[in-house]
Amino acid sequence: MLFVFSKPLLLLLLLSVAGGLFRAALASSPEPTSNGTTIYDLLPKFGLPPGLLPDTVINFILSDNGSFVVNLAGPCYVEFEYLTYYEPRITGTVHYGSIDDLKGIQVRRFLIWFDVDSIRVDLPPADFIYFQVGWISRKLTVGQFETVHSCRDNALGYGRIKDAAERVIQLPGLM
């Protein structure tokens, strides 16, 4: 089947396709904002450690009122004191020393996943960080969030199982 388009209609079609490609390119751009600030540079300006988010941030939007959206390359898991799950899209409102109305981060405790509702740090010096899960608050040392961590793509901990198996195989007398 042959389609014949008028020049204005063809131009409109091409512009529409180009606009879609441009939006897709913007969605996959790296995390710097227009002034070159990354999310990892921005968190300390709010008194928060840069390692609160994994190393897979694709981009983020921060509004003047503090509300934000962070997009990750995909879902991921990071092992802190608790296994932490990050959804591909994280939202909330950032203030100096805290993040409220948080959506998209969960922690596992006793094989149950809990939504993290807010995060707070002690104001200078920040020795502890507090994760609010419902009406329960959990205090952790802020040091484990000072560096940006890499994601695992699953919660099974295959890497830890493999490392443990390799250590067992290397024990004297087993071979």
pLDDT digits (tens, 9 = 90+) for 109-126: 888 999 999 999 987 777
Place of tokens 């004191």: 81
Alpha helices (runs of H) in the chain, residue ranges in sequence order: 7-27, 39-45, 158-169
62 vs 10 pLDDT, higher one: 62
174 part of a folded domain = no
Whole-number Å distance between alpha carbons of 82 and 64: 32
pLDDT tens, residue by residue, 65-100 = 999 999 999 999 999 888 999 999 999 999 999 999
Largest alpha-carbon pair distance within the chain?
Answer: 81
- Is 104 among the domain residues? yes
The more confident residue out of 73 and 159 is 73
* Full residue range of the structural domain in which residue 84 is found: 39-167
pLDDT score, position 134? 87
Per-residue model confidence (pLDDT) at position 160: 53
Note whether residue 17 is domain-resident: no
pTM (2 decimals)? 0.68
Is there a domain that residue 109 lies in? yes
Count how many domains the chain has. Answer: 1
- According to the model, what pLDDT value does residue 161 have? 53
Residue-wise pLDDT tens digits, 31-51: 444 457 899 999 999 999 999
Identify whether 148 is part of a domain: yes
CATH of the domain at 43: 2.30.240
| Tokens read off for 12 | 């409109």
**Helix (H/G/I), strand (E/B), else coil: 123:** coil
Between the ranges 3-7, 122-126, 158-162, where is the mean pLDDT highest?
A: 122-126
pLDDT for 7 equals 45
Any domain includes 89: yes
Mean pLDDT of the chain: 78
Question: Does a structural domain hold residue 172?
Answer: no
- The percentage of residues in the chain with a pLDDT greater than 90, rounded to a whole number, is 55
Tokens of 136: 């329960």
26 inside domain:
no
Is a pLDDT exceeding 80 seen at residue 167?
no
